[in-house]
């Protein structure tokens, strides 16, 4: 614990460091301002969306935590304020069903009217899984033919290391919940940080628009900013964006620290820091490669898809903020899913999305069933095959269309497995050959050991349910 004199020395050291960095031409002040905006948003969401304590969230979910940073929780205003060395101040505020929003520096409120998002579904307790949460659908004895001991062992391994920060582990086999467990303080209704699993959700919303006849995957992306004569971006298709092969010039998250100090936060990460309009920022990216030639993990592509979703929905006269609930979530039994926005009301589904483990399992089931739910086709025929097929532009068969795929055998699952993936080892695995969905959710600081334990748990799940004849798995 730092006493008041120690804290004062820390603040003075931070002030001196920022001054020196400015003299040397480094972007340290910008980096701290960006990181503080992200920290404020993450803590705000942990408290007001997930119902966690500020202290626990700061310990387990905070991306950055410099020693000179102070945090203040304001319950009355439903906001979190972060301050670094008395020089940098950032605020994130809770806006109901739009979750928490990082306010840009100097901005005190959002530039849109928040809305209440209501589900049209009946009380979840009145309907059986997967459309509801009736008590008779709670996990009990596994189905005949499942090795209960191995399944229990798989669950234990998923939670074996406290440093993994596992929050939830769920196994759905043949449509039925076969195993389910939560960390202390977490339950089946907890809206958990999901991060880049939201990219798969963006893909799903695109699929809904295609199914309803508003979009064509092979058509040029309907983005007005790219339509000037001679603009190479005119050739980018919706499918190119889905497969992250647009060729847009957008700096990635892995750029070096030296590059970051001189040139600022990478574009891939900057969209999380509370900038004004994430869609405008992404769409302004120039062309670097011909579309469909180079596959790279960049947030610009799913954000461009997000802009297409908003513009298409609003052009049809519908309310954008509640549209996903009406056309997707209500159809598959999800009564509440928090899709957070920027200050302009744009969904930031490259990372700021919160859902329960069961919600994500339902989305996995939708893909396991080839986009059909209760006899109704929600995703166009062939769409699931597209997102689960290796993108031709990627050097390795690891990415499909808004989903990662197990093409290199990274996970101990058959090669037909494909999955949603987010920071902190958030995962939803869809395994068609085994009629299986596996959900693992955790907190951001879960790392390599969490992934290792997850792989071990997967092996045991396959042993427990009995792998179909001829199925191949790899470590």
pLDDT tens, 285-295? 999 999 999 99
Q: Tokens 């009301």 appear where?
A: 345
Residues 6+ apart with CB under 8 A from 210: 216, 217, 379, 380, 383
Residues 6+ apart with CB under 8 A from 346: 277, 278, 279, 306, 307, 310
Angle at 213 between CA 210 and CA 217, to 5 degrees: 35
Within the chain, which residue ranges are assigned CATH 3.40.710.10? 170-248+279-465
Query: What is the pLDDT confidence band of residue 24, given thresholds at 50, 70 and 90?
Result: very low
* pLDDT at position 58 over 60: yes
What per-residue confidence (pLDDT) applies to 423? 94
Q: Phi then psi for 304, rounded to 5 degrees?
A: -65, -40
Strand partners, 372: 377
* pLDDT at position 20 over 70: no
Both tokens of 59, joined, read: 């310990």
What per-residue confidence (pLDDT) applies to 142? 61
Model-level pTM? 0.93
Give the residue among 71, 54, 364 at the shortest CA–CA distance from 194.
364
Query: What is the pLDDT confidence band of residue 66, given thresholds at 50, 70 and 90?
Result: confident
- Check: CB of residue 398 under 8 Å from CB of residue 405: yes
Distance of alpha carbon 369 from alpha carbon 375, whole angstroms? 10
* pLDDT at position 36 over 50: yes
Give the residue among 332, 290, 268 at the shortest CA–CA distance from 124.
332
What per-residue confidence (pLDDT) applies to 395? 97
- The CATH topology of domain 170-248+279-465 is Beta-lactamase (3.40.710)
Q: Tokens 């494909």 appear where?
A: 418
Name the DSSP class of 175: T
What per-residue confidence (pLDDT) applies to 104? 95
pLDDT tens, 268-305? 999 999 989 999 999 999 999 999 999 999 999 999 99
Please enumerate, as own/partner, the contacts of 368-377 that have beta carbons within 8 Å and a separation of 24 or more.
368/430, 368/431, 368/432, 368/435, 368/436, 368/437, 371/207, 371/211, 373/331, 373/332, 374/131, 376/331, 377/211
Residue 294: asked if its preceding bond is cis (omega within 30°), the reply is no
Instruction: Quote the mean pLDDT of the chain.
Output: 91
């Amino acid at each position: 614990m730092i006493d008041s004199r120690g804290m004062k020395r820390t603040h003075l050291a931070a002030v001196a460091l920022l001054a020196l960095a400015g003299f040397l031409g480094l972007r340290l002040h910008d980096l701290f301002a960006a990181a503080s905006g992200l920290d404020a948003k993450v803590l705000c969401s942990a408290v007001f969306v997930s119902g966690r304590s500020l202290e626990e969230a700061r310990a387990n979910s905070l991306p950055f935590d410099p020693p000179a940073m102070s945090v203040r929780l304001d319950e009355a205003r439903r906001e979190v304020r972060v301050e670094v060395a008395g020089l940098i101040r950032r605020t994130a505020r809770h806006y109901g069903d739009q979750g928490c929003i990082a306010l840009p520096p100097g901005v005190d409120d959002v530039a849109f009217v928040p809305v209440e998002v209501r589900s049209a579904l009946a009380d979840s307790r009145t309907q059986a899984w997967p459309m509801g949460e009736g008590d008779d659908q709670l996990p009990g004895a596994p189905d005949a033919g499942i090795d209960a001991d191995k399944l229990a062992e798989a669950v234990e391994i998923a939670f074996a290391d406290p440093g993994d920060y596992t929050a939830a582990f769920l196994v759905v086999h043949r449509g039925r919940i076969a195993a389910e467990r939560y960390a202390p303080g977490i339950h089946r209704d907890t809206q958990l940080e999901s991060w880049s699993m939201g990219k798969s959700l963006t893909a799903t919303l695109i699929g809904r628009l295609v199914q309803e006849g508003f979009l064509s995957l092979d058509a040029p992306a309907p983005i007005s900013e790219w339509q000037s004569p001679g603009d190479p971006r005119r050739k980018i298709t919706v499918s190119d964006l889905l497969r992250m092969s647009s060729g847009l010039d957008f700096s990635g998250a892995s750029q070096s620290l030296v590059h970051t100090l001189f040139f600022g936060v990478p574009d891939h990460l900057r969209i999380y820091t509370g900038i004004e309009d994430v869609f405008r920022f992404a769409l302004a990216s120039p062309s670097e490669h011909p579309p469909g030639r180079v596959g790279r993990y960049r947030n610009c592509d799913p954000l461009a898809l997000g802009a297409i979703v908003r513009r298409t929905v609003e052009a049809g006269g519908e309310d954008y903020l509640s549209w996903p609930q009406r056309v997707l979530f209500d159809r598959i039994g999800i009564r509440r899913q928090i899709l957070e926005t920027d200050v302009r009301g744009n969904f930031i589904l490259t990372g700021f999305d919160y859902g329960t483990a069961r919600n994500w399992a339902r989305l996995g089931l939708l893909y396991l069933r080839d986009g059909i739910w209760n006899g109704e086709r929600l995703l166009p025929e062939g769409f699931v095959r597209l997102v689960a097929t290796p993108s031709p532009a990627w050097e390795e068969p690891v990415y499909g269309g808004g989903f990662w795929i197990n093409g290199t055998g990274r996970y101990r699952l058959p090669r037909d497995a494909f999955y949603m993936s987010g920071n902190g080892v958030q995962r939803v695995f869809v395994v068609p050959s085994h009629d299986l969905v596996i959900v693992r959710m955790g907190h951001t600081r879960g790392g390599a050991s969490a992934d290792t334990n997850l792989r071990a748990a997967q092996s045991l799940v396959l042993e427990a349910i009995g792998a179909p004849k001829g199925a191949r798995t790899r470590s």
